[in-house]
Amino acid sequence: MDNFVFHSPTKVIFGKGEEANVGGLIKGYGFGKVLLHYGGGSIQKSGLYDVVTKSLREAGVAFVELSGVEPNPKLPLVREGIALCRNEGVDIILAVGGGSVIDSAKAIGMGLPMDADVWDIYSGAFRPTATVPVGVILTLAAAGSELSNSSVITNPAQMLKRGHGNDVCRPLFAILNPALTFTVSKFQTACGVVDILMHTIERFFGTPARTELTDALAESLMRTVITAGKKAFENPEDYEARGDIMWASSLSHNGLTGNGRTGDWASHQLEHEISGMFDRVAHGAGLSVVFPAWARYVCKHDYARFARFAVNVWGVIHNGSNEETAHAGIDAAEAFFRSLDMPTRLTDLGIGAESIEGMAKQAYGARDSFGFFTPIRPEDTVAIYKLAL
Amino acid sequence: MDNFVFHSPTKVIFGKGEEANVGGLIKGYGFGKVLLHYGGGSIQKSGLYDVVTKSLREAGVAFVELSGVEPNPKLPLVREGIALCRNEGVDIILAVGGGSVIDSAKAIGMGLPMDADVWDIYSGAFRPTATVPVGVILTLAAAGSELSNSSVITNPAQMLKRGHGNDVCRPLFAILNPALTFTVSKFQTACGVVDILMHTIERFFGTPARTELTDALAESLMRTVITAGKKAFENPEDYEARGDIMWASSLSHNGLTGNGRTGDWASHQLEHEISGMFDRVAHGAGLSVVFPAWARYVCKHDYARFARFAVNVWGVIHNGSNEETAHAGIDAAEAFFRSLDMPTRLTDLGIGAESIEGMAKQAYGARDSFGFFTPIRPEDTVAIYKLAL
């Protein structure tokens, strides 16, 4: 077990109807003015907007609004939010939405105490040590940003998408009502399930440290998400299944399932280049394509680890051969993704062999490799994308 | 899944040698003066005292000391700590030890901002909303107080032992170095393993809510503790096993393994009366006696739940009968406790039938029952103690 730091201070308020108490909650903290931050009209259509604004008004909490957060949240709106919060004296940002809205809120929060421009955080020029707090009402179980230490922002002028990891940006509180995800489409539900699984899979494969408790927690979380994912896909209003998925989205990305080991994260890097070049590709859909290919390509470096994954996560019976069992586990993961109508081939995404060299080139800046399970060099990236065709 | 609140804000710094960084850590928070709080001479003998004081001095952090915390930490020392901290302008308490030292530190922390006497917290007359922060260097994996929201203090003048639960007293940070527990005796190691298991078992049995993810995490934690417990019992310097146990001690009592369900806690109440009347009885030893008896007495109310416990925690093969499988699981738990040389009968503790009525009477104040799996009334308590003879 490697030494680790684990700090997940977010207060989780989980369950039916809890979003109606947000005004009292914020009042109780003693904040003066809220920025209500959200995406498009979906929270108005669903009635959530009315519930939240009524709760704020009844608690006597003043608020201003900034909507318009898009998937892959954009820098200009973050800057607009910072200017608005300064003008209005906002001291807490309430993100109502999924990962994009939360990431945008985190950027505004960290940008507010800065003299310099907020992009300096994402370019790596500045590491913040303070933030205006962010609260969350979650409407999509996927990214795990509600408890995570990360935020990803896109700078359209420079055509750059950059992430920042920092415990300072973990939200102050997160209200998780599984019923708010009943209306999430089958496709987005499946993308979320893949994303949640991948946040733990990336941590499960990594440096070879022995982390028995962490592994056991990770395996139990993955098994639960697989079972609940099928149920929610079939019956979108299954509260218990939606609840397991929502709570797993948070626990899969707050660090719990990776303590004591450095996670791999190569699949995320490989996916990043796909959705970077093809904006239409959803993150979860890109991950369901690259993970089986990455796994088949690298499993030879530690068949025993992949065999454990097969047995403990996918219920594969070990046939005496770690190699064969490892491959059976990867097959099972791919079959599960397909059972949720997820793509598992680049061609399913409309991407052909002609794009591979370009995507592979994008993945390397000054680095010559990425990934902690085994280093992935440019020729490996090309080979993995070819396996995914 | 019942609605729940989960808030575990303690920063965990886990691993070899981390205690040597405590001075810089405290300095980084900006605190001015530390109360170094500990028990007897064991931290001096082990060299830990020197490591900690050297780290504080090198970081330029001022400190005063208060030692002498006993098992079942006492109110007079808490009051002495409060007076000392006020005189010295202490703004953080560093608990170096196990559950007793941490509970004492929590009491001092919560007592400091109060006008009234600190016992008002434990008598129920006052509920604190603020504390002077507590940091922890853990030397015993058992009570889980390093991440929990509870503190138990004994008032010797009134012959009362009372607990208080309040998120405000969760520690600010906890340094967990498994190597610091290498010198813990086999008996104390076994008591710790039982205590850790019981913190999750109490949560696993409770109100009948469906909590699939929580159950899966709880089962994986229990399986890991059982395996690691055997290893550490046989080989006290097995770092990985000590590490699994130490991290489990924290996660087993911070709330993670019970989210979405109200835990039972009847076994703790039944044990409380044993060690209340017989001071020589260690908490873990009392629990290993009462749990099998409680389980055999109540399992008829939900054989299916106990059968799940048998299969998923103890590896029992389900034979088609929930009743028989349930009992096989309880037998397996009892056999495991015995394999660690734990007592499993009141007579093992030197307690005979003549004490039962007295202990049973103590368990009920104004209440007429306790426990959330099924209510335990006075006649049930007598019957359970008799089963434990």
**Over 90: is that where the pLDDT of A279 sits?**
no
Is the minimum CB–CB distance between A207 and chain B shorter than 8 Å? no
Q: At B54, phi and psi to the nearest 5?
A: -65, -45
In a domain, A194, yes or no: yes
Please report residues of B whose CB lies closer than 8 A to that of A251. Answer: 213, 217
Give me the pLDDT at residue A25, please.
98
Full strand arrangement of the beta sheet holding A62-66: A62-66, A33-38, A92-97, A134-138, A173-176, A11-14, B4-6
Q: Residue A72 sits in a domain of what CATH number?
A: 3.40.50.1970
The confidence score (pLDDT) of residue B362 equals 84
How near does any CA of chain B get to the CA of A175, in Å?
A: 9
Is A131 within 8 Å of A169 (Cβ atoms)? yes
Among residues B154, B180, B206, the one where a domain terminates is B180
Higher per-residue pLDDT: B363 or A291: A291
Q: Mind telling me how many Å the CA of A26 is from chain B's nearest CA? A: 15
pLDDT grade, residue B285 (50/70/90)? Answer: very high
**Count of residues making up chain B:** 389
SS3 category, B69? coil
pLDDT band at A267 (very low <50, low <70, confident <90, very high): very high
| All residues at 6 or more sequence positions from B158 whose CB lies less than 8 Å from its CB, including other chains | none
Tell me which residue has tokens 């560093």.
B94
Minimal CA–CA distance to B293: which of B376, B195, B177?
B376
Please report, for residues A214, B28, B77, B170, the alpha-carbon distance to residue B134 in angstroms, rounded to integers and kept in the order given. 26, 15, 16, 8
Give A 74-133 residues with CB within 8 A of chain B. Answer: none
- Interval A70-89: pLDDT, tens: 988 999 999 999 999 999 99
Across the interface, whether the CB atoms of B239 and A1 are under 8 A apart is answered yes
**Do B228 and B92 reside in the same domain of the chain?**
no
Token duo for residue B212: 């699939």
In b/e form, how buried is each residue of B34-56, taking b as 16+ CB within 10 angstroms?
bbbbbbeebbeeeebbebbbebb
Is residue A159 scored above 90 in pLDDT?
Answer: no
Our count of domains for chain B comes to: 2
So what's the pLDDT on residue A84?
98
Instruction: Read off the pLDDT band of B364 (50, 70, 90).
Output: confident
- Examine the domain organization and report whether A262 and A370 are in the same domain: yes
Give yes or no: residues B15 and B151 share one domain.
yes
Return d(Cα A102, Cα B58) in angstroms, integer: 41
Residues B300-332 pLDDT 10s: 999 999 999 999 999 999 999 999 999 999 999
Which of A145, A180, A215 marks a domain boundary?
A180
pLDDT digits (tens, 9 = 90+) for B6-49: 999 999 999 999 999 999 999 999 999 999 999 988 999 999 99
Residue B224: the pLDDT is 98
Give the nearest partner residue to B243 out of A1, A6, A240, using CB atoms: A1
Contact assessment for residue A317 and residue A293, using Cβ atoms and an 8 Å cutoff: no
Q: Minimum mean pLDDT among B164-168, B246-250, B339-343, B364-368: which range?
A: B364-368
Percent of the residues in chain A that have a pLDDT greater than 70, as a whole number: 100
pLDDT digits (tens, 9 = 90+) for A352-378: 999 999 999 888 877 899 999 999 999
Position B1 in a domain: no
Cα–Cα distance, B382 to B358 (Å, whole number): 10
Q: Assess whether A273 and A144 both reside in one domain.
A: no
Say if residue A156 is in the same domain as residue A257. Answer: no
Contact A223, A170 (CB under 8 A): no
Average pLDDT in the A191-218 region?
Answer: 96
Contacts of B12 in chain A (CB under 8 A): 4-7
Task: Check residue B111 and give its pLDDT.
Answer: 98
On whether residue A63 sits in a domain, the answer given is yes
Using alpha carbons only, what angle is made at residue A256 by residues A263 and B258, rounded to the nearest 5 degrees? 155
pTM of the predicted structure, to 2 decimals:
0.97
B300 has a chain A CB within 8 A of its CB: no
Give the pLDDT confidence score for residue B366 in this predicted structure.
79
* A166 shares its domain with A196: no
Partner-chain contact A260 B243, CB within 8 Å: yes
Q: Assign A12 to helix, strand or coil.
A: strand
* Of A132-136, B40-44, B212-216, B251-255, minimum mean pLDDT range: B40-44
pLDDT at B319: 97
The answer to whether the beta carbons of residues B99 and B140 sit under 8 Å apart is: yes
Determine the average pLDDT of the residues in A300-315: 98
Is the Cβ of B239 closer than 8 Å to some Cβ of chain A? Answer: yes
Query: Nearest 10 degrees: CA dihedral of A165, A168, A172, A176?
Result: 10
Q: Can you tell me the distance from the alpha carbon of B169 to that of B147, in angstroms, rounded to the nearest whole number?
A: 9
What domain range includes position A115?
A: 11-180
CA distance B259 to B262: 8
Closest approach of B248 to chain A, Cα-based (Å): 7
> Are B228 and A210 contacting, i.e. CB atoms less than 8 angstroms apart?
no
Q: Could you tell me if B214 and B142 lie in one domain? A: no
Q: Which of A162, A180, A198 is the last residue of a domain?
A: A180
The pLDDT value recorded for residue A318 is: 98
Note whether residue B5 is domain-resident. Answer: no
Residue of B nearest to A225 (CA): B213
Report residue A322 as tokens. Answer: 């770690």
Average confidence score pLDDT of chain A: 96
Q: Is the ipTM of this complex over 0.85?
A: yes
**Given an 8 Å threshold on Cβ–Cβ distance, is B5 in contact with A14?**
yes
Regarding whether B372 and B234 lie in a shared domain, the answer is yes
Q: Please indicate, yes or no, whether residues B234 and B86 belong to a single structural domain of this protein.
A: no
Same domain for B191 and B176: no
- Tell me, yes or no, whether B326 lies in a domain: yes
Cβ–Cβ < 8 Å for B186, B229 = no
- The answer to whether residue B171 neighbours chain A at the CB level (below 8 Å) is no
B206 & B244 share domain: yes
User: Does residue A326 fall inside a structural domain?
Assistant: yes
From chain A, pick out residues whose CB is under 8 angstroms from the CB of B17. 3
Is B347 a member of any domain? yes
Distance between CA B79 and CA B81 in Å, rounded? 5
> For position B229, which CATH number holds?
1.20.1090.10
Distance (Å, whole) CA B230 – CA B336: 9
- Looking at residue A366, its pLDDT comes to 79
Q: Residue B363: pLDDT above 90?
A: no
Q: Identify whether residues A245 and A272 lie together within a single domain.
A: yes
Task: Write down the mean pLDDT value for chain B.
Answer: 96
Domain membership flag for residue A193: yes
- A-B Cβ pairs (cutoff 8 Å, strict): 120
Contact A295, A332 (CB under 8 A): no
What torsion, rounded to 10 degrees, do the Cα atoms B312, B318, B324, B329 define? -20
Q: Which of B3, B217, B240 sits opposite A220 (nearest CB)?
A: B217
Going by pLDDT thresholds of 50, 70 and 90, the confidence category of residue A277 is confident
